[in-house]
Structure 1
Amino acid sequence: MSAPFTLTDLVQALERSGNAVALLASHLSDDEARWQPGPGRWSALEIINHLADEESADFRTRLALLLHAPREAWPPIDPQRWVQQRRYNERSLLPSVERFLTERQASLQQLLSWAEPEWQARRGSLSAADLAASWQAHDLLHLRQLAEVRYLYLETQGYNLEYAGMWPGLRRSPEEPAELEANA
């Protein structure tokens, strides 16, 4: 099976989603940037710093190793622990967004320096195409997470958001079942 995208497609997708992350996260107040929807749930600031660290330590590094140094060990990562260890929520928002964008630009420049990769190259059960698609999906997952945090923050400010419509699957707390019906 061939990859459902080219290197150019990957670069364009990552550039678009990186810009979307920055737009969604920029210009939040300090309170909103640090606000967490509940215990164990990430703030916008934590999401942005997670994305910046994942950009450099995970996706960019691991795709390069898979394609160009397949026998080299992957450096260990611990994204869940980094949130607390690296004190993401104590950082400032704009420098965090800028750091993410700087890391994303470094990734795009690296990708643009390559010839079209052998997307079928593998590391265990993971192909280069799988890793590249996962990189794109990771952005989408966190774009959704950023939008949910923003929506929930607006709710906590006392606004009646019924006019916006129901958000299918939105969880306001870990114990609450997801809403399943859209209210258009």
Structure 2
Amino acid sequence: MNPELLIGRLEAFAYQLRNLVKDLPKDQARWRPAEGGLSVLEIVGHLCDRELLEFRPRLELTLRDPEKSWPRVEPDDGLEELNYNERELDREAERFQRERLKSVQWLRNLGAANWTSTHEHPKKGPVRAGDLLVSWASHDAHMMRAIAHRSFDLSQRDAPGFNSDYVGGWEGEPRP
């Protein structure tokens, strides 16, 4: 594993996310498709919470005291109660960037970390510190894909009677 490359990806995503969502009108940022899924604003709020409540604290505990229980965080737990869609997209993206850059600084200051330090997760079994680091970077890719999917959905919504067959649908690999 090359932690510096993964940490570099985490840092790059702090800037990529802000650029990805800047200038998105409020109604589009808050829109959810009828068939379900998160709005762009909810995705960004989810990223903020996972940064603060899950990835950074769990990795820190795994490196420092792998026997200690992790903070409990359930995916999409209380999504409606968190009122992500009532927040301001620019503020949430800025909050994410600020917290992510703190995480990157913390990671870079770790020095020679024991990436094989292992926490025993009650459902997933053994989770190494390195597994958390790669999952953190992979989660960013999943969320970028989710934002791209929402953008695709918005294009479909805003063109009733027309289709995107020219470039293909969402399923499968897009044509370059």
TM range (shorter): 0.7 to 0.9
Residue 147 (structure 1) aligns with: 148
Could you tell me how far apart the structure 2 residues matched to 1:81 and 1:181 are? 31
1:107 matches 2:108: no
The structure 1 segments of at least 4 consecutive aligned residues displaced by more than 2 Å after TM superposition are 159-164, 179-184
Residue 21 (structure 2) aligns with: 25
Alignment of 1:124-135 (within 5 A): 124=120, 125-135=126-136
With over 3 angstroms needed to count, the CA separation of the structure-2 counterparts of 1:16 and 1:183, relative to structure 1, is closer
Percent identity between the two aligned chains: 32
Letter in 2 for 1:61: P
In structure 1, which of residues 76, 92, 96 is the aligned counterpart of residue 92 of structure 2? 96
SS at match of 1:158: coil
Could you tell me how far apart the structure 1 residues matched to 2:94 and 2:173 are? 37
SS at match of 1:27: coil
TM (norm. structure 1) is 0.84
Could you tell me how far apart the structure 2 residues matched to 1:103 and 1:67 are? 20
Letter in 1 for 2:91: P
Letter in 2 for 1:29: P
With over 3 angstroms needed to count, the CA separation of the structure-2 counterparts of 1:21 and 1:71, relative to structure 1, is same
Over the aligned positions, Cα root-mean-square deviation in angstroms equals 1.9
Provide structure 2 residue ranges, at least 5 long, that are not aligned to the other structure. Answer: 121-125
Q: After superposition, what is the alpha-carbon deviation per residue over 1:41-68, rounded to whole angstroms, capped at 9, x for unaligned?
A: 1000000000000001100110000001
In structure 2, which of residues 145, 168, 172 is the aligned counterpart of residue 166 of structure 1? 168
1:5 matches 2:2: yes
Higher mean displacement: 151-160 or 122-131: 151-160
TM-aligned CA deviation for residue 162 of structure 1: 2.8
SS at match of 1:85: coil
TM (norm. structure 2) is 0.88
In the alignment, is the contact (CA less than 8 A) between 2:156 and 2:164 conserved in 1?
A: no
Alignment of 1:56-67 (within 5 A): 56-67=52-63
Task: Give the aligned length.
Answer: 170
In the alignment, is the contact (CA less than 8 A) between 1:18 and 1:139 conserved in 2?
A: no
Could you tell me how far apart the structure 2 residues matched to 1:62 and 1:114 are? 15
SS at match of 2:76: helix
